[in-house]
Structure 1
Amino acid sequence: MPHSDLMPIGLFARRSGLTASALRFYADSGLLRPSETDPVTGYRYYGAAQLTRAITLRRLRELDMSLPVVETVLDSDAEEASRLIDAHVAKAAGDAMAVRHRAGVLKASLAGAPGPPIAVLKGPVLADAVEQILTATTRDPGMPVLGGLRIETGPEAVTLTATDRYRLSTRTLVPAKTPTQTWAATVRGDELRAAAAEIRRSPSVRIEATPFGVLLRAPDREDQFCGLLTEEFPDYRLMLASLGDVTTRVTVAKGLLLRTLEDHSAERVALDVADHRLWVLPAQGEACEVSLASAVTGQSLRVWFDLTTLYPAVSTAIGPDVMLDLRGPQRPATIRSADRGDLTTLAMPVKPDHPAGIPHDKDRLHASCSHQR
């Protein structure tokens, strides 16, 4: 007779999330044998200590992991098991991307004639631009278009644009050959990001349009296909046209501002422009504000940003110095290189916070705790 702490297969199945038939299969395959089997009835019984292995087995199989790999994972220590799981996930993701790529190329070929050329660009330049602009995307199941990159071609330039509603990044590229036609579409950002790694080492990349996406073609390399997003892209041109006048302009060393933001401990950061300097106000509980050497023109101003909005906007700017064009505490700020205007990011401020300890009068500019960089 089985011990009282053993469970019949039905109860063990319910507790582990495995079916009784699956438990029989795993017993026969040697992955999870019952603790005892009644020699007369053939009934199988499992111990409570086997639940952990059973649940882990179920979760591994939910990852579509093969039985041999499952067995290796179950018999490994935690570090090795984690490595094996990571390797399996990486392979599955790579396989899925490869299937999507091959399907895209196949769909493109169904049109018969080659797609019309959109533009020819330098591979490393296009790859850098794609990665810079994609920092302004987000994964939003309700608005998939926010994860895409808008590509527009005109007579003189190719424009890349992305927005997550809090940031908008746009960059213009001069093509190696003048585009033969105007064209615009929103391309899947995740597929472009993967393609960027492939085209970075290509001297030139030819972009061709297809009914379902774009083909990135480089000499001696496999074509890269990136699908289209059909949702309407936000009307960013209307927003750019209604920005309003710049009231305050600050030019500051990019590395200096980034280091200051990295040292900031709060989720929000306040920039204060006064007495021809840029100040980064302390977070609640911090002792000191930071004064950054900068060139300032225009009005004094205090504006708040989420750190997750401001930091990537500054970090992707091109060149050693970054220019902040401010329009007020509730208007979008323009962030770009001080000497190159082909990459521009708009960052939306947030409502002001008033954490304890932050002074609000001009005397604080001379407080003994403040320090300069």
Structure 2
Amino acid sequence: MATSKEPHDSFGGLKIGNKDTINISLFCELCKLLLLDPIQLLCCGTRLCRWCSKKGLLDSKPFICSFCHTKQEQKQAHADRGAERELNMIKIDCYSCSWNGLYNDYKEHLGQQHAYLQCSDCCEHFFSINLYEEHRQEICEYRSILCELPGCMGLIKWTNIGTHYLCDTHQKMLLEVIIQYIFKHKRLPNKSNCSATITSVVSDMKQELITVQENVNILLPEVERSLNNCTRLKSEHDQIKTTCDNLIQQKNTVGKMIKDDNEKVNKCIQEQNDMEKQIDDTKKLQLYTKTLSLDTDSTMTFSFIKHPHEINLPFSIYSSQFKTSIFGYNFMLRICSTIISGNENQEYLSIYITLLRGEFDEILLY
């Protein structure tokens, strides 16, 4: 397995097992490992890991590039999308086991199997020095940091730094630093003048603190009033939100009821249409099934319904059954259009009479 010397312990990209098969342009120029979060210097195009660039190249003004020695007003770099695309296409062998695969899958594999670096404050694990150092120095909420005030020693939890700034020890040291700064710039000649100046400075600072306290006391009632107004407005907001939620729920309920009612109305309309159709069918059936008798003058009139668009179309119509008398013969007429074969322009009306069997056939003569 190929290895590479790490020139810096505070930053480093990805270790891999097949370094010799990967294009050298995909390795960081500082840590000499495979690029992790690649960036590119605008002055010369040098590719670096983002954290390596941040910690390995000073953000001095003016900035002098360590690679091309170009002098710039400040360091200029941008995320290297081209390097990211190239990295996503290469096949990598794990430096610690037999695994191999693509770049993003390799990072996931390292995070699951080879995250050997552990944060001592939050116990989170990391597979790269860069990720570990960035977490320790800038991300971990439980990390300890040094106060930047000269003479204020000791480590402070990052979450407690605000409280530390307000503590008596820090405030006294801050006052001493201010006094030393004043002495340094005024260049006082002797101790008597120094003592008088210290007394004067302390007196002035006390007076300023008293003035600040008075202003705070003046503003405090307004702040309390504003806090009360905020509490009241929040309560009103919660009530309005609750009312809106209830109205929305009622709207949804009413909408569902309307939808159900519409479905019921549509169902009733459909049932009514079906019933009307059944009534019409029944009336038509009665028309054809009702047995009629000849009038006293031995005549009978039948009603035939023929729509206008059917006038010129071939048709065949049956009459209702009719009898010659109450106990007479049972007949039915059929009226239809007839076209002589070979001459469609000659159309005739044909009438057929059919003798039917009836309930009095035994006493009638045929």
TM score, norm. by length of structure 1: 0.20
Q: Relative CO higher for 1 or 2, CA cutoff 8 Å, sep ≥ 6?
A: 1
Which is richer in strand?
A: 1
Which is richer in helix?
A: 2
TM score, norm. by length of structure 2: 0.21
